[in-house]
Amino acid sequence: DAGVIQSPRHEVTEMGQEVTLRCKLISGHNSLFWYRQTMMRGLELLIYFNNNVPIDDSGMPEDRFSAKMPNASFSTLKIQPSEPRDSAVYFCASSFGGLSNQPQHFGDGTRLSIL
Amino acid sequence: GDSVTQMEGPVTLSEEAFLTINCTYTATGYPSLFWYVQYPGEGLQLLLKATKADDKGSNKGFEATYRKETTSFHLEKGSVQVSDSAVYFCALSGDSGGGADGLTFGKGTHLIIQP
């Protein structure tokens, strides 16, 4: 079975540009999580969805960040405008069943560099 | 809020040595506990989990026991291999009343196994 698929794997862009990160969930999973990983702050939860509905976006850094689930199997994380401090590895993860004891399955991440 | 504390390392061991990576947590209610492993350039992979007190999670020779009295979930392996070299993350999923919840991660422990 295909795992969580993220694209692009690497993104380099200049500050001020719009960046869109994409994530395809594992078929049948109904919870979706976006995380950011940096050396300084480690892994941080940005936002998560259950059944396409955003449940907690308190980890989203600023209004420049937005996330959507246009359908049950796909999500986007958008940064507009981007800033150098947004440089990080962004992971999405999905899980099944909508329960906190279910493991999350991670994609390979998008390494974002804002110049 | 919830938090996870783990030794950051790097931890350097010789092949076939005994491994312990300490993890303690702070959380309300009855969280689920996880160990994830991250290899270079990849996403996180679930190593093992425990969802209630005194449960023992195990996988690939690794074990961890959910100790509510000491709020700990230490990772152990009796004989490590070079292929175990990676970064290990302890994480918890909060007891939010039944719904899926984001993970709170420790800072990660970089493990290096020398031949």
- Kindly give, in sequence order, each residue whose CB lies less than 8 Å from that of residue A115, ignoring residues fewer than 6 positions away: A12, A13, A14, A15, A84
Q: Report in angstroms the alpha-carbon separations of A85 from A58, A70, A113, B59.
A: 18, 27, 9, 37
Chain B residue numbers with beta carbons less than 8 Å from the beta carbon of A35 are: 102-103
Is residue B113 a contact partner of residue B18, using CB atoms and an 8 Å limit? no
For residue B97, the model assigns a pLDDT of: 53
A68's enclosing H/E stretch is strand A65-71
Q: Token digits for B85?
A: 């070299």
The pLDDT of residue A58 is above 80: yes
Confidence of residue A85 (pLDDT cuts 50, 70, 90): very high
Confidence of residue A12 (pLDDT cuts 50, 70, 90): very high
Tally C-beta pairs within 8 A across A and B.
69
Residue A53 at interface with chain B, using a CB cutoff of 8 Å? no
For residue B96, the model assigns a pLDDT of: 57
